[in-house]
Amino acid sequence: MINKELISPKSIVLVGASNDMLKPGGSSLYNLINGTFTGDLYVVNAKGGDIQGIKAYKDVNDIPQTDLAIISIPAKPAVEVIETLANKKGVKAFVVFSAGFSEESPEGALLEKKLLDIVNKAGVTMIGPNCSGIFNTLHQSIFTRPVPKLDPNGVDIVSSSGGTITYIIESAMRVGLRFNSAWSIGNTAQVGVEDVLEYMDSEFDPKTSPKVKLFYLENIADPDRLLLHASSLIRKGCKIIAIKSGVSESGSRAASSHTGAIASSDSAVEALFRKAGIIRCHSRVEMVNVAAVLSTEKQLQGKNLAVITQAGGPAVILTDALSKGNLNVPEMSAELAQELKKHLLPGAAVTNPIDLIGTGTGEHLAYAIDFCEKNFKEIDGIVVFYGNPGVTDVKRAYEILHEKIQTCRLPIYPVLPSVVMAVEETENFINKGHVNFIDEYALAYGLSKVKTATPPSVGKMEDIGVDIARVRRIIDSCEDGYIGSDSIKELFDAAGIPMAEELVSDKKEELVAFANRVGYPVVAKCVGPIHKSDVGGVALNIRSDEHLLLEIERLMKIQDAKAVLVQPMLSGQELFLGAKYEPKFGHIVLCGLGGIFVEVLQDVASGLAPLSFDEARSMVRSLRAYKIIQGVRGQKGLNEDLFVEIIVRLSVLLRFATEIKEMDINPLLADEKNVIAVDARIRIEK
């Protein structure tokens, strides 16, 4: 329930104002006085007097009617003051700095509930408590500093943490980002991340609204609302970058071969962001560099870049980093390179990267940019690396770079690394409205994250021929717990998931006859124990009737064994596919390569069911081991299309079988033609 009094108040009262700049009540008043607010500003302090040049009221009962109140006093008196302001002074919006509520103690939680009841009953909006405030281009009701340069076309930022929002803003200012608004939402007693997202979604105008939004999240209270409004914003032309903290538990659990242990909160967040189209980052530096890429006026349309540099080493680092991010630095033809070299200094290298050498001037830089734009048809953008080695006129070079960024039809990404020798020149360049990536690897990371971002796929379910009615009949007929192999086979058949031919029986004659029909070698497994390999319940590479009979007898003696399953002995690359039901999120589908890639390297991708083909393919291609699926070092690739199709089919099955709480298909065996499920476990809970 974000209202106009919070966004554009005509009057503000600060309760707890101070002359001490080290107190929130002092720092926030300074920000208001020296900011853009032009309305009526009142301050309240029990001692009265003059505070930062403004006459102070001693009691909130004495102030005029006011739109917005900033509360910077201890928790207990804050509750009483807020009740007075809401019911007697017409205050419609509150920003509550005060701490000592639910973040501190059970008593504080009760106090916060009382506060929430007051504001809800009064029908007013409250940010906080325990927040550092908000700012936009109209008012800066925040106690942290610095307040960055404000721009209606700048980025918006929303943070669960007041300290973190400050550090993100500082990191962003260093690369030249400007801000339209910042929201530190604290304890989110009334207004949470989802509420701010909904407000931004409802107010978004593709022609005038800021196009980049940053989120630092410590909790996702309502995944469905976040998914709805984030995906809606992105479809309207917005880009969202987010950090979700507090998910480290998954790192230690991902070594387990049991899918249920892998699908943790981190997997759920990854899946949610993928479906919404949110670009996920893991640090402040990553976030601001992605935001800087998205904030450039011209966006990279392809994957090929020319690199114009004043130093060879950084160009090599950049080229390697771009390659890791599936971006290219194509070689310039010998004919073009020879022509370009005529206009540069002796010693310049021109095949791409284009090394102007340390004494290359701004004029050389200008010529190289113009030449690439006009003649180097393979490229989609240009990276310029230019610093101050002490032998060039950096000021002139940066003026030329400013002009070229404005006039070149291709996006130009500046990497200006001289944070000591060219501080003033770099600051002047940034003040003209540009960003600066400082580090070449940071630029490569930002470009890669932007180019690999997936579009939203909310509400999209592929029409892929899963027999939903049959799936429901099978699920309804099963009891709680791990279901039998016959039921698994029926479910996979209904979903169109290929599974290895098999027979389950406790009769030796039937099992031997089956082995002869499908042909040796075969695999035999005991049926009953959940973890077959842990109890020696798997026998591989059985090549004769005699060997099979011996293994059947051994397997049936294992504790809890009820029967034996026999399958053909298949070969191929092991793939991994599974799912876990996460409360509030739904089914998280996980995929990867089997064996060491899951257990040791933790190379797993996740998606939120139901999955589109684009989502499933994005999951597969995000794997570090994707090159194995493509085919590497002369080995044939795997059937990626069929793997993607099976992932989608599984996700559709899960969408209509919420009773499935855990599923582990381990392994799927794949080659260039087939992808076949060999074994699976499914646990249902009704």
Amino acid at the residue 536: G
In the prediction, which pLDDT does 485 show? 85
Task: Give dist(CA 531, CA 535) in Å, integer.
Answer: 7
Task: Give dist(CA 420, CA 425) in Å, integer.
Answer: 10
Task: Give the DSSP letter of residue 664.
Answer: E
At CB < 8 A and 24+ separation, what contacts does 414-417 make? 414/384, 414/386, 415/314, 415/318, 415/383, 415/384, 415/385, 415/386, 415/439, 415/440, 415/443, 416/386, 416/387, 417/314, 417/385, 417/387
Give me 570's structure tokens.
Answer: 């298949």
In the prediction, which pLDDT does 63 show? 98
User: 10 Å Cβ neighbour count for 253?
Assistant: 16
Annotate 75-103 with three-state secondary structure. HHHHHHHHHHHHHHCCCCEEEECCCCCCC
Give me 509's structure tokens.
Answer: 């004659």
pTM for this structure? 0.87
Task: Give the DSSP letter of residue 207.
Answer: T
Q: What is the mean pLDDT of each run of 10 residues along the chain (686 residues)?
A: 96 97 97 98 96 97 97 97 97 97 92 97 97 97 94 96 92 95 95 96 95 94 94 96 76 34 69 95 95 95 96 94 93 96 94 95 97 97 94 95 97 95 95 93 95 86 92 95 92 95 92 94 90 87 94 93 92 92 93 82 90 93 91 87 97 95 91 92 94
Task: Give the DSSP letter of residue 304.
Answer: B
Q: Which residues lie closer than 8 Å to 185 by C-beta, 6 or more apart?
A: 127, 128, 131, 158, 159, 160, 191, 192, 193, 196
Task: Give dist(CA 242, CA 155) in Å, integer.
Answer: 13
Counting every residue written for the chain, the total comes to 686
User: Quick one: which H or E segment has residue 200?
Assistant: helix 193-203
What burial class does residue 449 get, using C-beta atoms within 10 Å of its C-beta: 0-12 exposed, 13-18 middle, 19+ buried? Answer: buried
In the prediction, which pLDDT does 248 show? 57
What is the domain class of 4-132 according to CATH?
alpha beta
In the prediction, which pLDDT does 347 show? 93
Backbone torsion region of residue 333, taken as left when φ is above 0, otherwise alpha when ψ lies between -120 and 50, otherwise beta: beta
Question: Residue 70's beta-bridge partner residues?
Answer: 14, 95
Taken in order 663, 666, 671, 674, the sign of the CA dihedral is negative
Give the CA radius of gyration of the chain. Answer: 31
Give me 451's structure tokens.
Answer: 């180019």
Nearest in space to 21 (alpha carbons), one of 138, 145, 128, 121: 145
What 3-state class would DSSP assign to 573?
A: strand
For residue 9, say if its preceding peptide bond is cis, omega within 30 degrees of 0: no
In the prediction, which pLDDT does 261 show? 36
In the prediction, which pLDDT does 247 show? 67
Place of tokens 């009057």: 11
Amino acid at the residue 585: F
User: 10 Å Cβ neighbour count for 248?
Assistant: 10
Amino acid at the residue 203: E
Give me 228's structure tokens.
Answer: 């709805």
DSSP 377-436: TT-SEEEEE----SSS-HHHHHHHHHHHHHH-SS-EEEE---TTTTHHHHHHHHHTT---
What burial class does residue 301 get, using C-beta atoms within 10 Å of its C-beta: 0-12 exposed, 13-18 middle, 19+ buried? Answer: exposed
List b or e across 595-604, with b for residues whose CB sees 16 or more CB atoms inside 10 angstroms. bebbeebbbb
Q: Domain 573-684 sits in which CATH superfamily?
A: ATP-grasp fold, B domain (3.30.470.20)
User: 10 Å Cβ neighbour count for 625?
Assistant: 16
Amino acid at the residue 552: I
Q: Which residues lie closer than 8 Å to 155 by C-beta, 6 or more apart?
A: 172, 177, 178, 179, 180, 210, 212, 213, 214, 291, 295
Amino acid at the residue 275: K
In the prediction, which pLDDT does 377 show? 96
User: Quick one: which H or E segment has residue 109?
Assistant: helix 106-122
Question: Residue 354's beta-bridge partner residues?
Answer: 308
List b or e across 209-239, with b for residues whose CB sees 16 or more CB atoms inside 10 angstroms. bbbbbbbbbeebeebebbbbbbbbbbeeebb
Q: Which residues lie closer than 8 Å to 575 by C-beta, 6 or more apart?
A: 591, 592, 593, 594, 638, 643, 667, 668, 669, 670, 675
In the prediction, which pLDDT does 195 show? 97
Nearest in space to 436 (alpha carbons), one of 543, 293, 248: 293
What 3-state class would DSSP assign to 521?
A: coil
Q: Domain 148-295 sits in which CATH superfamily?
A: Succinyl-CoA synthetase domains (3.40.50.261)
Write the CATH number of the domain with boundaries 468-568: 3.30.1490.20
Whether the domain at 4-132 and the domain at 148-295 fall into the same CATH topology? yes
Task: Give the DSSP letter of residue 535.
Answer: G
List b or e across 506-524, with b for residues whose CB sees 16 or more CB atoms inside 10 angstroms. eeeeebbebbeeeeebbbb
Per domain, the residue ranges of the chain are: 4-132, 148-295, 305-434, 468-568, 573-684
Place of tokens 């998931």: 497
List b or e across 350-366, with b for residues whose CB sees 16 or more CB atoms inside 10 angstroms. bbbbbbbbbebbbebbe
For 305-434, the fitting CATH number among 3.30.40.10, 3.90.1170.50, 3.40.50.720, 3.40.50.261 is 3.40.50.261
Nearest in space to 520 (alpha carbons), one of 573, 566, 574, 572: 566
In the prediction, which pLDDT does 263 show? 43
In the prediction, which pLDDT does 600 show? 78
What 3-state class would DSSP assign to 198?
A: helix
Give me 555's structure tokens.
Answer: 């397997």
